[in-house]
Structure 1
């Protein structure tokens, strides 16, 4: 299994002027592009952008929540570096006691003829480039539909509402006889 390390940087707030870049949108896109290219040059792969809450002090005793945009990057840790990672204070280095070796029984013809254990299908996040070829993509159809939802509530038209309002308006208007 491949291990990753992550880096989170603040998303740019202002656009960067450049030759041929005139509009504010283009300048902002240029600043995001510059940030992504700088991180890629250091070996970081862009993962996603996030909007996260940040509780900050205001005044002597108060606090307010500010929403911060950040860019998330990752890069693979080589296998030998991940295995030899330093032990931190949160994970104490305790070596388990060694048990005496246990002799394994020889394989008999009955044990060899048992059918293999059925395992659950392998699943992977949809779009994962490191997923095995036979992995079932997750999220499924329901989650994909939910991700595509734009958040706008759809209202069905109410049949006969216009006719009912017109009839009520006629009742409330004085007739010109």
Structure 2
């Protein structure tokens, strides 16, 4: 199965909410809300990573800063790699004839009722 991935920066600050006290609880709430929002869109959380990033410092120098990111994935839309069609039996001869095909009716049509009175037949067709 093929996946598409989404990498977002991890929250840096906690979120305030009623009944949530302390820095750890607020930070946990911020991460939880990000994960639930993306989970509602079909994204599955894989892991968090801390990766180095080179950034400019001043005019001529660079410094390495470590960034925390959250990695999500979901199955790619239109991926048919897992699709396994079911093979039908090879019907030959008399078995291959569809029901109703012997009397000239098309498949999926209802045979017309035989009416004794033509006037009654015309009224029901209209």
TM-score, scaled to structure 2: 0.61
| Cα root mean square deviation, aligned | 1.3
Q: Deviation per CA, 1:52-95, whole angstroms, max 9, x where unpaired? A: 000001111100000000000000114249xxxxxxxxxxxxxx
For residues 49-60 of structure 1, the aligned pairs below 5 Å read 49-60=48-59
Which structure has the higher relative contact order (CA within 8 Å, separation 6+)? Answer: 2
Q: Secondary structure at the match of 1:25?
A: helix
Higher CA-based Rg:
2
Cα deviation for residue 24 of structure 1 reads: 0.7
Partner of 1:120: none
Distance of 1:79 and 1:37 partners within structure 2: 24
Partner of 1:3: 2
Distance of 1:60 and 1:79 partners within structure 2: 47
Cα deviation for residue 36 of structure 1 reads: 0.2
- Equivalences, count: 80
Partner of 2:12: 13
Distance of 2:80 and 2:12 partners within structure 1: 39
For residues 96-135 of structure 1, the aligned pairs below 5 Å read none
Distance of 1:34 and 1:53 partners within structure 2: 25
Distance of 1:33 and 1:6 partners within structure 2: 19
TM-score, scaled to structure 1: 0.44
Partner of 1:76: 75
Q: Secondary structure at the match of 1:36?
A: helix
Cα deviation for residue 37 of structure 1 reads: 0.4
